[in-house]
């Protein structure tokens, strides 16, 4: 049951082989057993979840089920959910109960999915290891001494340890894809604007995008079908016809069953295979590329000459936006307020000094600096120019290929604490993922093997704007031919 796909679970619910209440209880039991060791969930509310499950069962009984009706989904604690504690991994919001639902939460609720709980994350999504959370670090189900990646590390660990059939996360610089890679699951960051940001606590508004995390490409497609959609409350939400992201999964354009991906041109950027890439990761990715060729795809050498600039540009733009986005956490209206202070300035100072963790403060300081009078042009404007150059690199590459593949992360999951004191090393984890955010392009990560310490390796698969269905097709065909995505960590059966 715990390894079933969403499609299988949906079928079993429809056939009344299992009820949503039973399915939800099954996962709540697993959370109760496994979460104390992994710390993937920060809030579980069995009564609330089971009430939703009962409503889902009634809906199934009434014959009004949709594909996700009755399926429990773990929510990253960045999504506002009415009546749920929504902390964003921060002491600042440790007591914040959201009075409203994020658009994504609304859509999942409307589809009949069950909120299984809120998952741990780097504080305000700032991190690549899920170590900066107020609620303590999340552990990687494949090796509890290692990080699960971040910032959606709680959602990733929840799916990897089969505590949840699927989860939702957010990705500002790789926060869905990198933890997916490090925990051996699948994660998709859609084209910017496909998923509404309303109710998703902002880190860096021009980069943030919500997306699904699940065991397979097919599950991602089913999740995205519900999550995507225009929302007038988000001015950057794109108004376009609804898309069925499962529609291409089994399509083989040339009609050649043995080579379902024939005609697909896979761009392999030379910049992604240079210094800094661990050899075990490189080897697994090479093997995956060979598998794609076997499936009929054609490998094309491409170049993304400004790749090296993406991390520096990202670490100007993201902190700049964050420094402003996090100004609302001032102790005045909700959230944490320092217990003692002398005057207004002192209240602000102490509230923010006590309420934010070190990484968040570091980024607020960086962001404040780069937006300051006299530095704005040199940092923020320059970074925006680089951003346009990076988008142009992709435009030129996509003239020669349909998808771009490479590693998701330069190494497999590292040990907890290994990079915690070296922010620059930590930031370099994003080297293969941030460019998609800067350009607003869709990208996903799927498991493609194992490296050092028998830890999972992720394959990064990126496409042009709105190429999600094509990307999911390629990933799905790869998963039909391989079983990396079916493997689960030992000790969580």
Partner 1 sequence: MDWETVIGLETHAQLSTVSKIFSGAATRFGAAPNVQACAVDIALPGVLPVLNRAAVEKAVRFGLAVGASINARSVFARKNYFYPDLPKGYQISQYELPVVQGGSLSMMVKDGEKTVRLTRAHLEEDAGKSLHEDFHGMSGIDLNRAGTPLLEIVTEPDMRSAEEAVAYAKALHALVRWIGICDGNMQEGSFRCDANVSVRPKGSEVLGTRCEIKNLNSFRFMEEAINYEVRRQIELIADGGRVVQETRLYDPDKRETRSMRSKEEAHDYRYFPDPDLLPLVISAETVEQIRSELPELPAQRRQRYMSECGLSEYDAAVLTSNQDIGDYFEGVVRHSLQDGEPFAQADFKLCANWVINEVAAKLNAENLPSWKFGVSDDTLGHILRRLREGTIGAKTAKELFSEFWDEARTAGYERQGGHPQLVNELIETRGLKQLSDSGAIEKILDEVLAANSKSVEEYRAGKEKAFNALVGQAMKATKGKGNPAQINEILKKKLAS
- Which two tokens mark 422? 């070296």
Phi, psi of 119 (to 5 degrees): -100, 150
Contact of 153 with 171, CB cutoff 8 Å: no
> How far is residue 348's CA from residue 275's CA, in Å, rounded to a whole number?
44
Residue 303 annotated among the catalytic residues of the structure: no
Question: Which range touches partner 1 (CB under 8 A), out of 6-14, 56-64, 196-204, 219-227?
Answer: 196-204
User: At its nearest, how many Å lie between partner 1 and the CB of residue 196?
Assistant: 9
What pairs with residue 210 in β-bridges? Answer: 170
The reply to whether 84 sits near partner 1 by the rule CB under 8 A is no
The reply to whether 201 sits near partner 1 by the rule CB under 8 A is yes
User: At its nearest, how many Å lie between partner 1 and the CB of residue 437?
Assistant: 12
The reply to whether 205 sits near partner 1 by the rule CB under 8 A is yes
CB atoms under 10 Å from CB of 358, counted, come to 11
Which of 34, 111, 99, 105 has the alpha carbon at shortest distance from 74? 105
Cis peptide bond prior to 348, omega within 30° of 0: no
**CB within 8 Å of 75: residues ≥ 6 apart:** 81, 84, 105, 115, 116, 117, 118, 119, 155, 167, 168
Residue 175 annotated among the catalytic residues of the structure: yes
User: At its nearest, how many Å lie between partner 1 and the CB of residue 122?
Assistant: 16
10 or 170: whose CB is closer to partner 1? Answer: 170
For every residue of 294-328, DSSP letters joined together read: HTT-EEEEE--TTGGGHHHHHHHHHHHHHHHHGGG
Q: What is the CA radius of gyration of the chain?
A: 21
Question: Which range touches partner 1 (CB under 8 A), out of 36-44, 85-93, 115-123, 157-165?
Answer: 85-93
- Which two tokens mark 49? 């979840």
Instruction: Considering only residues 163 through 182, tell me which ones interact with partner 1, judged by CB under 8 A.
Output: none
25 or 368: whose CB is closer to partner 1? Answer: 368
Q: Where are the beta strands (DSSP E) in 114-224?
A: 114-119, 166-171, 186-189, 209-214
What pairs with residue 169 in β-bridges? Answer: 211
User: At its nearest, how many Å lie between partner 1 and the CB of residue 360?
Assistant: 14
The reply to whether 102 sits near partner 1 by the rule CB under 8 A is yes
User: At its nearest, how many Å lie between partner 1 and the CB of residue 175?
Assistant: 16
> How far is residue 133's CA from residue 88's CA, in Å, rounded to a whole number?
8
Contact of 106 with 234, CB cutoff 8 Å: no
Find the binder of partner 1 among 336, 380, 414, 427 (CB under 8 A).
380
Find the binder of partner 1 among 32, 344, 353, 486 (CB under 8 A).
344
Q: Out of 20, 76, 128, 129, pick the active-site residue.
A: 76
The reply to whether 350 sits near partner 1 by the rule CB under 8 A is no
User: At its nearest, how many Å lie between partner 1 and the CB of residue 369?
Assistant: 10
The reply to whether 267 sits near partner 1 by the rule CB under 8 A is no
What pairs with residue 443 in β-bridges? Answer: 189, 462
- Which two tokens mark 45? 């509310």
Q: Out of 20, 90, 155, 175, pick the active-site residue.
A: 175
> How far is residue 198's CA from residue 168's CA, in Å, rounded to a whole number?
14
Find the binder of partner 1 among 32, 33, 64, 100 (CB under 8 A).
100
Residue 421 annotated among the catalytic residues of the structure: no
The reply to whether 232 sits near partner 1 by the rule CB under 8 A is yes
Q: Out of 151, 155, 323, 445, pick the active-site residue.
A: 151
The reply to whether 390 sits near partner 1 by the rule CB under 8 A is no
Instruction: Considering only residues 283 through 342, tell me which ones interact with partner 1, judged by CB under 8 A.
Output: 320-321, 323-324, 326-330, 332-334
> How far is residue 191's CA from residue 340's CA, in Å, rounded to a whole number?
45
The reply to whether 346 sits near partner 1 by the rule CB under 8 A is no
User: At its nearest, how many Å lie between partner 1 and the CB of residue 268?
Assistant: 32
The reply to whether 73 sits near partner 1 by the rule CB under 8 A is no
Find the binder of partner 1 among 88, 220, 249, 295 (CB under 8 A).
88
> How far is residue 336's CA from residue 353's CA, in Å, rounded to a whole number?
11
Kindly list the catalytic residues. Answer: 76, 151, 175
- Residues lying near partner 1 in the complex (CB under 8 A) are found at 79-80, 86, 88, 93, 96, 98-100, 102, 197-202, 204-206, 232-236, 320-321, 323-324, 326-330, 332-334, 344, 348, 368, 371-373, 376, 380
């Amino acid at each position: 049951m715990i390894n079933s796909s969403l499609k299988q679970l949906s079928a079993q619910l429809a056939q009344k082989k299992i009820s949503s209440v039973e399915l939800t209880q099954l996962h709540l039991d697993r959370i109760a057993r496994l979460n104390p060791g992994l710390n993937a969930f920060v809030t579980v509310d069995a009564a609330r979840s089971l009430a939703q499950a009962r409503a889902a069962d009634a809906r199934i009984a009434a014959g009004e089920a949709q594909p996700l009706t009755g399926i429990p989904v773990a929510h990253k604690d960045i999504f506002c959910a009415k009546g749920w504690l929504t902390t964003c991994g921060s002491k600042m919001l440790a007591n914040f109960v959201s009075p409203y639902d994020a658009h994504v939460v609304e859509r999942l609720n409307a589809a009949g999915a069950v909120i299984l709980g809120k998952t741990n994350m780097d504080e305000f999504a700032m991190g690549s290891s899920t170590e900066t959370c107020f609620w303590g670090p999340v552990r990687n189900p494949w090796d509890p001494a290692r990080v699960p990646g971040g910032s959606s590390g709680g959602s990733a660990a929840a799916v990897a340890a089969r505590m949840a059939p699927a989860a939702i996360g957010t990705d500002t610089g790789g926060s869905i894809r990198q933890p997916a890679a490090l925990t051996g699951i699948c994660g998709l960051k859609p084209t910017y604007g496909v998923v509404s940001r309303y109710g998703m606590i902002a880190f860096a508004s021009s980069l943030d995008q919500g997306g699904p995390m699940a065991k397979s490409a097919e599950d991602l497609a089913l999740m995205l079908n519900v999550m995507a959609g225009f929302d007038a409350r988000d001015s950057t939400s794109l108004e376009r016809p609804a898309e069925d992201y499962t529609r291409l999964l089994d399509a083989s354009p040339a009609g050649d069953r043995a080579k379902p991906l024939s005609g697909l041109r896979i761009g392999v950027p030379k910049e992604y295979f240079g210094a800094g890439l661990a050899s075990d990761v490189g080897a697994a990715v090479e093997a995956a590329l060979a598998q794609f060729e076997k499936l009929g795809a054609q490998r094309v050498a491409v170049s993304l000459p400004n790749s090296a600039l993406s991390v520096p540009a990202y670490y100007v733009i993201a902190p700049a936006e964050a420094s402003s986005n996090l100004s609302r956490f001032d102790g005045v209206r909700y959230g944490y307020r320092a217990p003692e202070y002398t005057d207004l300035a002192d209240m602000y100072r102490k509230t923010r000094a006590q309420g934010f963790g070190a990484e968040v403060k570091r980024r607020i300081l960086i962001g404040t600096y780069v937006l300051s009078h006299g530095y704005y042009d040199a940092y923020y404007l320059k970074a925006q120019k680089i951003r346009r150059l990076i988008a142009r690199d992709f435009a030129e590459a996509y003239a020669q290929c349909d998808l771009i593949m490479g590693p998701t992360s330069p190494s497999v999951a590292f040990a907890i604490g290994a990079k915690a004191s070296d922010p620059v090393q930590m930031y370099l984890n994003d080297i293969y993922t941030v460019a998609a955010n800067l350009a607003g392009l869709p990208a996903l990560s799927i498991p493609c093997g194992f490296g050092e310490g028998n830890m999972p390796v992720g394959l990064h698969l990126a496409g042009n704007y709105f190429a999600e269905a094509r990307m999911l097709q390629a990933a799905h065909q790869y998963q039909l031919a391989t079983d990396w995505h079916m493997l689960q960590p030992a000790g969580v059966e």
